[in-house]
Structures are given as structure tokens and as C-alpha cells.
Amino acid sequence: MTLFQEFGITQELAVILAIDLSIAVVLLTLTRYLQGWSIRVNSSEELAVRDNFAFGISTAGAVAALGIVLTGAITGAAAHSYLQEAIGMSAYGLFGLVLIKLGRFLHDKIALNNIDKNALVLKGNVSVAIVDASAAIATAIIIRAVLLWAEDLTLDTFIAILSAFAISQLMLVLLTRLRENRYAARNQDSSMQQALAQGNTALAIRHAGAMIAMALSFNAASHFIVFSPEAYVTNALGWLVFSFIMLVVLSLLLPLVKLLVLAKIDLADEVEKQHNIGLAAVEMAISIAVALILTALMA
């Protein structure tokens, strides 16, 4: 008896695992180089010669995002043949990679419409890079949730994923605008985007936590919405309504939880004026913890 057989791993399963892992490594490698190609720079030079920390953070976000999406494809049941497994894994991976790149483009042009993200990242702006990476990860979390929710490798599945993707981008924009308005109200109509461009890393960390928390809360939708392959409108409306409800819930719940956990601390002053990165990290942890708890309760 081999070690594989002892743990219940057949030769067929081992081959499928090898196929999935090989395709995942190729796609992750492609992601790293696409980061440079998309903005016409040499990724190796940015990472290892110029030691551009911001570019590294942005690249890390892209790689992590693709890894998250791939777990949605790998977690499913094995296909009936090696070729079908390779095609399915490649299709989901490439589609996820395209959506992540498209999501970053939309986030740059709509959510962060007042700043030039790529130029700032190349200049080494860590704050903008953190927001960029977090937006990619948030998008990936939602795509993964839909991959696990939908069934089979069909056109209907890709339409469902695309619909959820579009809704996720809408929610990210709404979240950004909501937080921008709150920031302006506390800072004499100052721009949150300009604060990020000026290097407020604490503010970036706080916003990153809010985006990832919002994405995590969407996972609960798969427990309430039944996937109907050809019910395109019903599927999309279900995700839209549920995601909007969760956005409202988080927007009301997070400030209350932070007020209790971080009592007697002026968060606005510490994060927005004093750039307190440590406190912003605690805020980020609270946001993600609350989202995880909500998701677990709804599951």
C-alpha cells in the first residue's frame, strides 16, 4: 500500500491535483508579469532594482486575488476526464484573471476617479497601493463565492459570475462614495482620495478593511439565493438586493462595534490627522472580524 492509497488518494485524483496545481502556478506567474505589462514597466526592475514597495503591494494584491478565485474552481468536484479538468481550471482561471484586471480598471476610473493610481504606485505611494490591492482581493472574494454557488462549466455559469462581478463593482463604488462623504464631513470637505494620494497609509488600511469586510459579507448570499441556470435576472437581482442590504448593515454596525471596542479613542483624529497606522490596523481587524461573524451566523 502506497502512502497515497493510505490516505485515500487514487492515481486519478493525484493526476487531477497535479493538473490543477500546474495550471494555478502558470496563471499566478502570468499575473505577476501582467502587472508590469499593463502599465508598461518591467516588473522585475520595479520589484528588485527600484525596490518599489508600492508596486510590490499592488502585485501582491493581484496574485492573492487570483489565488482566491482559483480556490473556487479547485474546490469543486473533479471533472470526468483529465482534459475536461484542464479546460475547466484554465477557463475559470483565465476568466477570473480577466475580471480582476477589469475590476481594477473600473475601480481606478470610477471609484478612484480623482487620482492617477498607476502613476502614484510607480512613484512608490504605498497608501494607494494598499487600496488597489484590497479592491482586487475584495473582487476576488466575491467571484469565488459565485464560483462555489454556481454549478457546472456552462455559459449560464459565466453569465452568473459576470453579473455578480458587475454588482460587486457597483457596491465597491457605493462604499467608497459613502466613506468619502463621511471623511469630507469630518475634515472640512477635504477629499479622501487626495489624502490617499498624499500618503495617509492609516486611512488606506482602514478603507481596505471596509472593502474586504463588504466582500466577505457577500458570501452569505449563496446560502439564501438558489442558483437557477437560466434565471439571469432573478439571480442578478438576488445578489444585488442582498449585497445592498449587507452594505447597509455593515455601514451601521461597524461604527457601533468600533465605538465599543475602541472606546475613549478619537478614531477620526488618530487615523485621519495623526496617521496612526496601528489603530487603523485594529479598525481593519474589527471590520473583517464582524463580516466573518455575520457570514458564519447566516450560514
> pLDDT by residue (tens digit) across 172-215?
999 999 999 999 999 999 999 999 999 999 999 999 999 999 99
- Calculate mean pLDDT across residues 255-273: 93
State if pTM tops 0.85. yes
* 256 has a pLDDT exceeding 70: yes
* 76 has a pLDDT exceeding 70: no
Q: Give the lowest-confidence range in 55-59, 72-76, 223-227, 262-266.
A: 72-76
pLDDT of residue 272: 94
* 139 has a pLDDT exceeding 70: yes
Cβ atoms of residues 83 and 17 within 8 Å: no
Q: Give the lowest-confidence range in 89-93, 150-154, 225-229, 240-244.
A: 150-154
Q: In whole angstroms, what is the distance from residue 94 CA to residue 119 CA?
A: 26
- Structure confidence at residue 7 as a pLDDT band (50, 70, 90): low
Q: In whole angstroms, what is the distance from residue 256 CA to residue 49 CA?
A: 45
- How many structural domains compose the chain? 1
- Calculate mean pLDDT across residues 278-288: 96
Count H helices and E strands in the chain, helices first: 13, 0
**What are the residues whose beta carbons fall under 8 Å from the beta carbon of 265, sequence distance 6 or more?**
279
* 31 has a pLDDT exceeding 80: yes
- Structure confidence at residue 163 as a pLDDT band (50, 70, 90): confident
Q: Which residue range is the domain that position 28 belongs to?
A: 3-298
- Structure confidence at residue 65 as a pLDDT band (50, 70, 90): very high
Burial 202-211 (b: 16+ CB within 10 A, else e): bbbbbbbbbb
Q: In 219-276, which residue ranges form alpha helices assigned H by DSSP?
A: 232-261, 267
Distance of alpha carbon 138 from the chain centroid = 2
Distance of alpha carbon 188 from the chain centroid = 31
- Calculate mean pLDDT across residues 231-244: 83
* 1 has a pLDDT exceeding 50: no
pLDDT of residue 127: 97
pLDDT tens-digit readout, 113-128: 999 999 999 999 999 9
Closest CA to 102 of 157, 148, 156, 162: 162
- Structure confidence at residue 8 as a pLDDT band (50, 70, 90): low
- Calculate mean pLDDT across residues 154-158: 78
